[in-house]
Amino acid sequence: MTSCDGQHPESAPHQHDQDIHPGGTDEHGHGVTASSDARLITIALALIVGFLVFEVAMAFVGHSLALLADAGHMLTDAGALGASLLAIRLARRPASGVWTFGFKRAEVLSAQANGITLLVISALVAAEAVSRLIHPQPVTGGIVVVVAAVGVAVNVAATWVLAKANRGSVNVKGAFAHIVTDLYGFIGTLAAGIVIITTGFERADAIASLIVVGLMLHAAWGLLAETGKILLEAAPAGYAPGEIITAINSQPGVASVHDVHVWLITSGFPALSAHVLVRPPADCHQVRRDLEQLLCQRFNLDHTTLQVDHALPAWS
């Protein structure tokens, strides 16, 4: 494997260490490291946990399902942020023993767990919301408004903090999706509380809960779809196998290429393997080096495994 600047891999930084994406630029325009991500996630986690305790207490006092729905989502937020921190720590561990890629996909598993948790919570809240639509219960609108207003403020702060992290990482993206979804949920809950105070329409609480459910399902689908593609080793966005095959076949000395696989180890860490046949008398080693440079410079693929052999002569 050769880096895109022609250095040997021992002296060149790998793509996944710099969060570089197709096009060769850092998504944020500045250095976002795992350490800074961990610090930002910790700050957001502290905000969420502090508010979670307050919201649960107020939900029981005010008999509000919408607040309990938001609290359930806040609990998944806290779990998502905690899992993200753990995944960052695991991903830093070097490869060893049977773990030849280390624990880099811990971040993918964390994001997938976030999506599954959102599905479970949304199902539970939806069932209770439908029940309360049929049989509405008294709700203290004033408490709902106060708590929701505080929730909006807390989630705006947490969203602002996480917006500085590397959202090119599926792990951070999962945590960010939780926070943003909760922000919209609190806005809906705030509106429901105002409706209850001004009109006495108590079903607004259950309707707000169903809006939160819809937002959770949307976030869950996005996370599960993205992590599912990574775990099933689909070609990542921006790395079209057909274009890569065409580029390889266009190189001097290349007779054909097959068994081309492009996948993500984790966010920002694409890999490729392929079997290339070279026309005699071209030098297999030189062709391989040229292809490694091509893949680095044109496709930002610097983790490649190329098996290069001479093609059999047509007369054989």
Instruction: For 274-304, write each residue's pLDDT tens digit.
Output: 999 999 888 999 999 999 999 999 999 989 9
Per-residue model confidence as pLDDT tens digits over 205-221: 888 888 888 888 888 89
Residue 5 within any structural domain of the chain: no
State which H helix or E strand residue 305 sits in. Answer: strand 304-310
Q: Do residues 212 and 266 both lie within one domain?
A: no
Q: Do residues 194 and 276 both lie within one domain?
A: no
Q: Do residues 162 and 29 both lie within one domain?
A: yes
* CATH (domain of 77): 1.20.1510.10
Supply the pLDDT for residue 70: 67
Asked whether the predicted pLDDT for residue 223 surpasses 80, the reply is yes
**Segments forming the whole domain that contains residue 68:** 23-231
Residue 86 within any structural domain of the chain: yes
Residue 256 within any structural domain of the chain: yes
Q: Do residues 141 and 208 both lie within one domain?
A: yes
CB 67 within 8 A of CB 139: no
Residue 106 within any structural domain of the chain: yes
Residue 134 within any structural domain of the chain: yes
Q: Do residues 181 and 94 both lie within one domain?
A: yes
CB 13 within 8 A of CB 123: no
Q: Do residues 219 and 261 both lie within one domain?
A: no
Of all residues in the chain, what percent carry a pLDDT higher than 70?
A: 86
Residue 219 within any structural domain of the chain: yes
Residue 112 within any structural domain of the chain: yes
Categorize the per-residue pLDDT at 21 as very low, low, confident or very high, splitting at 50, 70 and 90: very low
What's the CA gap between 194 and 172, in Å, rounded?
33
What is the average pLDDT value for the chain, to the nearest integer?
81
Q: Do residues 65 and 186 both lie within one domain?
A: yes
Q: Do residues 258 and 195 both lie within one domain?
A: no
Q: Do residues 248 and 226 both lie within one domain?
A: no
Residue 13 within any structural domain of the chain: no
Report how many helices (DSSP H) and strands (DSSP E) the chain contains, helices first: 9, 5
Runs of H (alpha helix) within 232-283: 241-249
Categorize the per-residue pLDDT at 315 as very low, low, confident or very high, splitting at 50, 70 and 90: low
SS3 269: strand
